[in-house]
Amino acid sequence: MRIVDFHLHLPLSMAGGDVHRALHLLLGEMDDAGVDVAVAIAIEASPEVVRRNVTPEKLRNAIQPLLYDWRALGHPSLYNAMVRPREALEDHLRLVERHLARSEDVARAAAASGGRVLAVASYCRLNSVEEYIERLERIASMGPLIGVKIYPTFHFLRPDDPSLEPLYDYMESRGLILIVHTGCDPGIWELPALCTKASPRYLEPVARRHRDLMIVAAHMGSYSYLFPGIYFADAIRLARGNDNVYLDTSATTLHQVRIALNKLGPEKLLYGSDYPYFEGLHMKDIVEAYLAFRVPESVKERILHLNAEEILSRIGVKLALPRG
C-alpha cells in the first residue's frame, strides 16, 4: 500500500544540526517503514517571544489549579514549574531550542530528497507578516514548499488573529496549505492556560473566510499528556462543518482515529507519524499499527495516501508514487 506521511519533522537535533545527515536519517526511516512521501514541517519559536509572554509569575499562576493533580506532580517539567518556575522556564527554552528546525533548512532537505519530501515552513513572530511573506517567497525558491504551519502555543497567537489575514490571502493565492498545531505541547505547554489558543475552534472563522485555503488541524486537537483529547470534540466539529478542513492523525491514538471515522468518515483524515517525536517507537512501528488497524482496506487507503494525494493535487503537486 502506498503511504504518504502528512506530518513529520526533519530530525536535525539527532543529526547535530547537519541538514544532509538529517535527510539521510529521515529517508532511512521512511524506507524501513515503507513510506513513499513525507511532509516535513519546520519548527520555529523565539525565546524572546516566549519570555515576553511567560513570566515565572504567570507560570506559577498557570500551574496553581493543578497543585493536587497527581499527573502534573509526576511530570518532571510541571513539577519543576511548581517549585522553581524561573528555572523551569529556562530549562524548557533550552529544550525547545534543541528541536528547532528552520524553514530554510527543511526546504533545502526537501529539494535534495528527489521528490520524497515536501516542505512546510513555520510561521515566525519576529518580523511583520509582510516581511514573513517576503521570506516565504525566498523559501519557495529553494525547494518544494507546500504550506505554512502556525504553532499557537509557541507563537502565542490564535489562528483567527486579524494580523494573519494578509498571510492567509497570500497563501490562498499561492495554493499553500495552512497547518495549525491543535492541542497542547510538551512540558509547560501542557498547562491549559498556555495552550488554549491552540483550540481548533479558532480555525472556524478562518475556514469560513478563506474557502479556497486548504486547512489541516494537526493532531486532531488531541495533543496532551495531562488531558488526552483536550480539544478533540472541537476538531471534529470544525472538520464536519467545513469542506476545506482536514485532520491529521499525528500524536493521536487509533481509538481516537476510530471515533473520528465514525463521526466524519475517512475522507477527512490524513496519516501522520510526528517523527521523530514518538518516544520509544520507530516510524515502522506506527505504520504497522495502521496496516493492522481493523477497518476496511478502502478506509486505510483513504487515510494512508488517497486523501493526501487529492489535497496535494488540488494545489498542483503531483506525487511520484508507486502503483498498487
pLDDT tens for 94-109 read 888 888 999 999 999 9
pLDDT tens for 259-279 read 999 999 999 999 999 999 987
Q: Tell me, yes or no, whether 143 and 56 share the same domain.
A: no
Q: Tell me, yes or no, whether 59 and 207 share the same domain.
A: no
Residue 66 pLDDT: 86
Q: Is residue 86 part of a domain?
A: yes
Is residue 323 scored above 70 in pLDDT? no
| pLDDT confidence band for 188 (50 / 70 / 90) | confident
- Mean pLDDT, range 188-217, rounded to an integer: 95
Q: Tell me, yes or no, whether 62 and 107 share the same domain.
A: no
For residue 250, what is the domain's CATH number? 3.20.20.140
Q: Tell me, yes or no, whether 147 and 235 share the same domain.
A: yes
Kindly list the distances between the CA atom of residue 86 and the CA atoms of 51, 56, 83, 120, in Å, as whole numbers in the listed order: 10, 5, 9, 33
Domain count, the chain: 2
Written as one string, the DSSP assignment of 209-230 is H-TTS-EEEEEEEEE-SSSTTT
Domain that includes residue 63, residue range: 46-99
Q: Tell me, yes or no, whether 15 and 57 share the same domain.
A: no
Residue 39 pLDDT: 98
Q: Is residue 323 part of a domain?
A: no
Residue 236 pLDDT: 98
Domain limit, last residue, from 99, 114, 139: 99
- Give, for 30, the enclosing helix (H) or strand (E): helix 19-33
Q: Tell me, yes or no, whether 80 and 217 share the same domain.
A: no
- Mean pLDDT, range 266-293, rounded to an integer: 94
Q: Is residue 87 part of a domain?
A: yes
pLDDT tens for 22-49 read 999 999 999 999 999 999 999 999 888 8
Domain limit, last residue, from 99, 118, 144: 99
More confident residue, 79 or 238: 238
Kindly list the distances between the CA atom of residue 237 and the CA atoms of 229, 258, 299, in Å, as whole numbers in the listed order: 14, 16, 21
Is residue 301 scored above 90 in pLDDT? yes
pLDDT averaged over every residue in the chain: 94
- Mean pLDDT, range 12-24, rounded to an integer: 96
Q: Tell me, yes or no, whether 83 and 121 share the same domain.
A: no
Q: Tell me, yes or no, whether 268 and 300 share the same domain.
A: yes
Is residue 324 scored above 60 in pLDDT? no
Q: Tell me, yes or no, whether 218 and 147 share the same domain.
A: yes
Q: Is residue 277 part of a domain?
A: yes
Domain limit, last residue, from 99, 117, 134: 99
For the chain, the farthest-separated pair of C-alpha atoms sits apart, in whole angstroms, at 57
